[in-house]
Amino acid sequence: MVTRLQTGKLKLKTVCNLQHIVVEDPDPTCFTMANKHKCWRDAMSAKFQALQQQGTCELVQPPKSQTILGCKWIYKTKRNSDGTIARYKARLVAQGNRQEYDIDYTETFSPVTKLPTIRLFITSAVI
């Protein structure tokens, strides 16, 4: 029996390395760190413009009896499979840890459409 070792046709040993990306510049953790870099300012501006165009939120006077929830920017560098930077992503999220049950906890709503729901509507329309 002729083995690969004898013929010289050895397969390369593939080793999975989960830490293959060397991060020179970690993602910022606060607004003041991100505001120093133009790429993060552009990402925040694009996200804020998208929120305004979609009509996600509107500016209103707060009721005096309600507590106001704060918001925070979350930053993430999206990379390609080879480790190069694809884009900088910034998200504006509400700080829901200040909500109180039965006061303002039940008013939070995030509409998400899932594929099974769309299929159900299409099926009912066909029938």
What's the pLDDT tens digit per position in 4-19? Answer: 767 766 666 555 556 5
99-103 long-range Cβ contacts below 8 angstroms, 24+ apart: 99/69, 100/67, 103/66, 103/67
Domain with 45 in it: 25-55+68-101
Q: Is residue 74 part of a domain?
A: yes
Q: Is residue 81 part of a domain?
A: yes
Q: Is residue 10 part of a domain?
A: no
What's the pLDDT tens digit per position in 81-111? Answer: 887 889 999 998 888 776 666 666 665 566 6
Q: Kindly report the backbone phi and psi dihedral angles of residue 73, in degrees, each rounded to the nearest multiple of 5, phi listed first.
A: -90, 135
Average of per-residue pLDDT across 117-121: 88
Confidence of residue 41 (pLDDT cuts 50, 70, 90): very high
Q: Quick one: which of 88, 2, 11, 8 has its CA closest to 43?
A: 88
Q: What total of structural domains would you count in the chain? A: 1
pTM value is: 0.59
CA distances from 19 to 23, 39, 80 (A): 10, 24, 14
> Where is pLDDT greater, at 62 or 104?
62
Q: Is residue 2 part of a domain?
A: no
Q: Is residue 33 part of a domain?
A: yes
